[in-house]
């Protein structure tokens, strides 16, 4: 299993942990399927009233899709299968609050998860955010669209376009509104649990209704944007072998801001 799920029946909080630390919690096809199944399972479990999402270890929250994953694509130029489109709670019709505890690197496909969380708590020293797509000849479509609803336009554009050359520190992410709380080193999960336990103590119907209300405010714009994502990816992505060449020849080092 690539996920760990721990449920505290007393507090009503579940902790969902991406458990592939040796792979920086990258998401392979098995992990993607487990995430979808977990969110759908939570819909039917009345004892779970809030969820904390985190990654195992202290190196990474999640580094997106595992580059070794083989994703078969249909022959039609009008269709793209994205294995990550259903890994987030909202994509699975779960409206219980989700708090992300970011304890290390969060990049690329991690934004599918962060983009569908209610708010983020980040380790003030270890958490960093970046989007490597353009560096490897890939369009940042879903990722940029999700982050555009959480960060100022210029910050999203810069992170999406600078690729691996820059990383956004937890402090800068807090200043721009991506992160709602900075936690001392090693305490992101503890801080996220503290908030989750308070929220889980409230009447669940009121909480879930509030979650839906908040998301409804941006649902139309989001739906219109993501409808364009497959075409943008199909037009802009380099062939897989060229992406691999860029990945193998990537330069070391980055600017932290």
Per residue in 209-224, is it b (16+ CB within 10 Å) or e — as a string? eebeeeeeeeeeebee
The average pLDDT across 29-58 equals: 96
Query: Residue 224 pLDDT more than 90?
Result: yes
Contact (Cβ atoms closer than 8 angstroms) between residue 254 and residue 167? yes
User: For the segment 134-192, what is each residue's pLDDT rounded down to a tens digit?
Assistant: 999 999 999 999 999 999 999 999 999 999 999 999 999 999 999 999 999 999 999 99
Encoded tokens for 137: 């000849």
Q: Which two tokens stand for residue 184?
A: 């001392």
**Which is more confident, 98 or 58?**
98
Res. 246 pLDDT band, cuts 50 70 90: confident
Structural domain spans, the chain: 3-204+226-256
> What is the full DSSP assignment across the chain?
--EEEEEETTTTEEEEEE--GGGTT-B-HHHHHHHHHHHHHHHH-TT--EEEEEESSSSEEE-SB-TT------S-TT----TTTT-STGGGT--S-EEEEE-SEEETTHHHHHTTSSEEEEETTT-EEE--GGGGT----HHHHHHTTTS-HHHHHHHHHHGGGEEEEHHHHHHTTS-SEEE-TT-HHHHHHHHHHHHHTS-HHHHHHHHHHHHHHHHHHHHHHHTTHHHHHHHHPPPHHHHHHHHHTPPP--EE-
Residues 6+ apart with CB under 8 A from 232: 139, 141
Q: Spell out the residues 6+ positions from residue 198 whose beta carbon is closer than 8 angstroms to its own.
A: none
Q: What is the pLDDT of residue 94?
A: 97
- Domain 3-204+226-256: which topology? 2-enoyl-CoA Hydratase; Chain A, domain 1 (3.90.226)
**Mean of per-residue pLDDT scores for the chain:** 94
pLDDT at 73 over 80: no
pLDDT band at 75 (very low <50, low <70, confident <90, very high): confident
Ramachandran angles phi, psi of 235, nearest 5°? -80, -35
pLDDT tens readout for residues 114-136: 999 999 999 999 999 999 999 99
pLDDT of residue 49: 98
| Residue 25 pLDDT level (bands cut at 50, 70, 90) | very high
pLDDT surpassing 80 at residue 250: no
């Amino acid at each position: 299993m690539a996920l760990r799920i721990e449920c505290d029946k007393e507090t009503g909080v579940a902790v969902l942990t991406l458990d592939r630390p040796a792979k920086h919690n990258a998401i392979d096809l098995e992990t993607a399927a487990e995430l979808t199944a977990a969110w759908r399972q939570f819909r039917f479990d009345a004892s779970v009233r809030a969820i904390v999402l985190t990654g195992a270890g202290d190196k990474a929250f999640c580094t997106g899709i595992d580059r070794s994953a083989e994703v078969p694509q249909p022959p039609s130029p009008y269709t793209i299968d994205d294995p990550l489109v259903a890994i987030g709670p909202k994509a699975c019709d779960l409206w219980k609050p989700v708090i992300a505890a970011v304890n290390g690197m969060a990049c690329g496909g991690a934004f599918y998860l962060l983009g569908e969380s209610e708010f983020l708590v980040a380790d003030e020293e270890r958490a960093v955010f970046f989007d490597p797509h353009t560096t490897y000849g890939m369009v940042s479509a879903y990722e940029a669209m999700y982050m555009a609803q959480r960060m100022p336009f210029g910050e999203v554009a810069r992170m999406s376009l600078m690729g691996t050359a820059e990383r956004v520190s937890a402090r800068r992410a807090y200043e721009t509104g991506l992160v709602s709380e900075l936690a001392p080193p090693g305490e992101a999960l503890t801080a996220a649990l503290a908030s989750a336990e308070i929220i889980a103590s409230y009447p669940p119907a009121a909480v879930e209704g509030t979650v839906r209300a908040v998301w409804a405010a941006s649902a139309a714009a989001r739906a219109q944007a993501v409808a364009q994502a497959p075409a943008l990816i199909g037009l802009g992505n380099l062939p897989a072998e060229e992406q691999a060449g860029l990945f193998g020849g990537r330069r070391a080092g980055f600017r932290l801001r």
